[in-house]
Amino acid sequence: MQIPLNPSVMFQQQEKERILWLRKELHRHNHNYYVKSAPEISDREFDELLAELAALEALHPDMADPNSPTVRVGSDLNRDFRQVEHAYPMLSLGNTYSREEVRAFYARVAEGLGGQPFEICCELKFDGLSISLIYENGRLLYAVTRGDGVRGDDVTENIKTIRSIPLCLSGEASTLPERFEIRGEVLMPWESFERLNVERERSGEPLFANPRNAASGTLKSKNSAVVAARGLDAYLYYMPGDETPCDTHYDNLQCAAHWGFKVSDAMCVAKTLDEVYDFIDYWDEHRRELPVATDGIVLKVNSLAQQQELGYTAKSPRWAIAYKFQAERARTRLLEVTFQVGRTGAVTPVANMEPVQLAGTVVRRASLHNEDVIRQLDLREGDFVYVEKAGEIIPQIVGVDVSARADADAKHVEFVKTCPECGALLVRYEGEAAHYCPNYTACPPQLKGRIEHFVSREAMNIDSLGPETAALYFDRGLIRDVADLYALRVADLCGADRSREKSAKKLVDGIAASRQVPFDRVLYALGIRFVGKVVAKTLAAHFRNIDRLRAASVDDLLQVEGVGEAIATSVKTFFDDERNMQLVERLMQAGVQMELPEVVQASDRLAGKSIVISGTFEHHSREDYKAMIEAHGGKNVGSISKKTSFVLAGANMGPSKLEKAQKNGVPLLSEDEFLQLLNGE
């Protein structure tokens, strides 16, 4: 007699098969969108599939896969990077800046090969952060930065959030090397870079100078959720080792593209020096059309056998060289230096110059950043200055033509002592390069800037109230701060003839709808210095409501993962100011969300227990585990003491916490043991 399968078992098996299918489909759609630029489904359809997969994975933790498409969103856990030694040293390339030096390289290759015919593979030199990716059985095993060339940092979790990097390779497993390495460059596209700097300016954070610095800083973040949010990209350009699929560098990269890697289309094989020059000349003119920064051309001998024959110097291969583009520079006269006040009160000097053509645009203004830059340039009134576009997009003054200075005693450009908008005496905080206007309650640009930040899409998302309209209402006296928004009525906005009644009603309805914006975004909208979206979310998850947060000491704040001295001090200073407290009270009275929903009590299995979380986890994020602990009656604590019930210990647990736990006799529970405890096993 055949015993029928339990329906629940059959259903679970169907769910697990669905998980495997969803993973395969989502990997394919990721590749189509981010590498091939040929999406087959809409963003919404993709998000729905991803949400379905995440829900099914939560129901089946035994199906956990570190290369699932759901890891693309990143995790809010923090980690220290372990050091990994490279199988093959990551050497730097020799640089050249002229056609004559390219000719000399070509001649050295010809001589080194004893007259053999050879080809040169010409590629773009992307301006990012070098990365080494190791794959095993078609799956990403780990990712390592260049480091010192011998060993680098393991940034695997952060790399997984970059959607153009395949987690699982396409093609039959039998056609893939069992284990191989591929190298490339992690980049921040111009679009992502500009968006990031707008967000940082709104948050009062220092701006990144160029996409390379932004990409480097992002990839080294200890919070992979930050990496996921910043829109990094990657191009792969080299496969080291003896087990490569083809005999030439170019063909190896075509194989890599077939497996799912993003390989630049701007690559060609040159058979003569003139063809090399043609490639250089073309991209020197057209590089500004690219979505990412490039600072030159890389030339490589195409044949792997010839590469091996040419060999290496102590620092670089003899078979490759980088040709660096010259940054376009122009000379013009400085007319005057003016000073702008930003939302956070930071005062920025701006050079106003005679118009000059530079990199395809007319440049009239350039930021001088701060007082230190002005002093380093020894800038005088009426000077002739040299201007370049940093990263081909941001004008900056890089020098002064001292020989053209008619008067050796010309007056130095002086940084202002008082705010150019409100007259308040400027301050410069210890360790900061910028000067600030401290009059944040009455300085018009700061007041307007805070309102603009408050209503922005990432904050309260009052999309019918743009910056110009907000500034107009401010100038008309309708609003002086963000709390005033909630007192606006249709009659205040539609005009005497009621001609704008429809748009006024839309705005008032939009303001009313913002009362439902969750607490973490409200916290971001307040514009506390150094508190960006990710920090706001972390603080909200930790303290749960505004009352606990404003009562927190600096030491309490430092217990929060990802919060350092600067953020903690800034938050404490904000809530210590009575004027800020009054603003918060008015927002609370207006019905704005100032707390996260209460955690639904699932059980009392952890009642009375104080639990510390440390290390990295596979099945859930750190914040997920914090929520689980509270849902089962436990208490999250940041440091280990004799009163700690146990430590939820993941991989790479901090050595100091491990030592402290052992010293105090505090037990360690693994991730699986903790989940079994919650399930009553």
CA-to-CA distance for 422 and 420, rounded, in angstroms? 6
Facing residues of 154 across strands?
144
Q: To 5 degrees, how large is the angle CA 457–CA 463–CA 465? A: 120
Q: Is 589 exposed, middle or buried (0-12, 13-18, 19+ CB in 10 A)?
A: exposed
Token pair of 549, please? Answer: 């947060």
Q: Write out the catalytic residue numbers.
A: 125
Neighbours of 418 (CB within 10 A): 13
Order of strands across the sheet that contains 294-301:
95-96, 320-324, 294-301, 120-126, 267-270
Reference 284, options 398, 124, 153; nearest CA is 124
CB-based burial, 21-30: b 16+ in 10 Å, e otherwise: ebbebbbebb
| CA atoms 201, 204, 210, 215: torsion sign | negative
DSSP E strands in 368-413: the ranges are 384-390, 394-400
| String of DSSP letters for 430-468 | TT-SSEE---TTT-HHHHHHHHHHHHSTTTT--TTS-HH
23 DSSP 8-state letter: H
> At which residue do the structure tokens 């963003």 appear?
43
What's the DSSP call for residue 593?
Answer: -
